[in-house]
Structure 1
């Protein structure tokens, strides 16, 4: 029952109709669902009074307290406080069955004591992948990282743009769309030149009759 020394690695999915648990890998949290076991006493389950409920929980959860530890037993007691004593006995028996079913899907790391799934277990080292990462996987990851670093260094040495950095996108004053770099708008054909105001020397679009800066007639 050592697997159950870790309260966080098991999720109780049981309900009035039956019992089921989900055991999680301590590294990746992938889960294994145990086989659902129907409750024979489900039809006779009834709500209990405060005193009777307390007595039944104390008796019914005694076994699971020994298996799960005080913290998890208390959680289950709160979750299933309305179930009958018979239901709790079934729950304990089904839990033992579920543990035996789940055990084959997990390995306990002798170094860190984590319970892990097959994907997080290094068979060659006999340890979890946290303590003994797979060498092939680490090698490929290191190669990929090195390639990325070398690519970045190579890009830094390249001249990727040699155009005019002062060039800006011009919007046509007639249609409002990008006009292009010619003398006429590439969308509507309007002239793109500017008329200098004789008074303030402000550059005005050729389509206006008065200076936008001082109002002088152009």
Structure 2
């Protein structure tokens, strides 16, 4: 009776025509490890036969074709089963299976050794506290901003002028342009009749008085 081959659900087959290699990943953080590449000696010998047969042809070519038929690259290959067992033994000590959720997780980041479960089922205390503290800070900052006056000193009733009407420079606030000194106000109030005029007006449209 053939020996049972252990395997896990966090393994990916990277084997190719030259040999065998497997990749194991953590089912929590996604970090992983690759087993050492194990060259298939039968395939290496087969490549030599193919090379010789291409030079001489004839019976050697027939030998090459026969060897191709004997070479089994399927999942039930004994050589592949052996390579998988070797890979599992090589990588196994880097992973732990959580008894809570059944996931295979890396021992360095995602395993809570104090309780024998993954950090998802049983969060690591210091990391959980740090995360909750960060969330509390964000909430407290948001609450503090709600009660903080961020518009002090701003004339919110005055029409905003993002660019200077005279030179086109970007306006950063205030009443005058920082580049040319021109007024950023879009309106002029007449000192004689209090009529509000457009900023470009030179004379009041209400009384004709000159506007500065």
CA contact (8 A) 2:11 2:23 kept: yes
1:101 pairs with 2:90: yes
Relative contact order, higher structure (CA 8 A, sep 6+)? 1
SS in 2 for 1:104: helix
Q: 1:174 to 1:134 in 2, by over 3 A?
A: closer
CA distance in 2, matches of 1:3, 1:30: 21
Distance 2:92 2:8 in 1: 13
SS in 2 for 1:139: helix
Counterpart of 2:175?
181
- Residue in 1 aligned with 2:29? 28
Equivalent residue for 1:161, pick from 151, 166, 171: 151
TM-score when scaled to structure 2? 0.64
Aligned partner of 1:115 among 97, 101, 104 = 104
Change in 2 beyond 3 A, CA 1:48/1:56: farther
Give the whole-Å Cα distance in 2 for the aligned partners of 1:115 and 1:127.
10
Measure how far apart 1:33 and its partner are.
0.8
Task: Using the TM superposition, give the Cα deviation of residue 194 of structure 1 relative to its aligned residue in structure 2, in angstroms.
Answer: 6.4
Question: Could you list the per-position Cα deviations for residues 137-160 of structure 1 after superposition, in whole angstroms to 9, with x for gaps in the alignment?
Answer: 112221222222122212211212
Change (3 A) 1:90 1:138: same
SS in 1 for 2:127: helix
> Which string of whole-angstrom CA distances, capped at 9 and with x for unpartnered residues, describes residues 81-102 of structure 1?
xxxxxxx432221111001111
Q: Unaligned stretches of 5+ in structure 1?
A: 63-87, 208-218
In structure 2, how many angstroms separate the alpha carbons of the residues matched to 1:189 and 1:149? Answer: 42
Taking the aligned partners of 1:177 and 1:18, their CA distance within structure 2 comes to: 67
Determine helix, strand or coil for the equivalent of 1:176. coil
* Cα 1:154–1:174 shift into 2, 3 Å: closer
* RMSD of Structure 2 on Structure 1 (CA): 3.5
CA distance in 1, matches of 2:148, 2:87: 61
On the 8 A contact 1:20/1:35 being kept in 2, the answer is yes
Aligned length: 170
Quote the offset at 1:48 in angstroms. 7.5
Find out whether 1:132 has 2:122 as its counterpart. yes
Q: Counting helix residues as a fraction of each chain, which structure ranks higher?
A: 1
Unmatched 5+ residue regions in structure 2? 51-63, 191-195, 203-212
Q: Please point out which of 186, 193, 205 is paired with 2:200.
A: 205
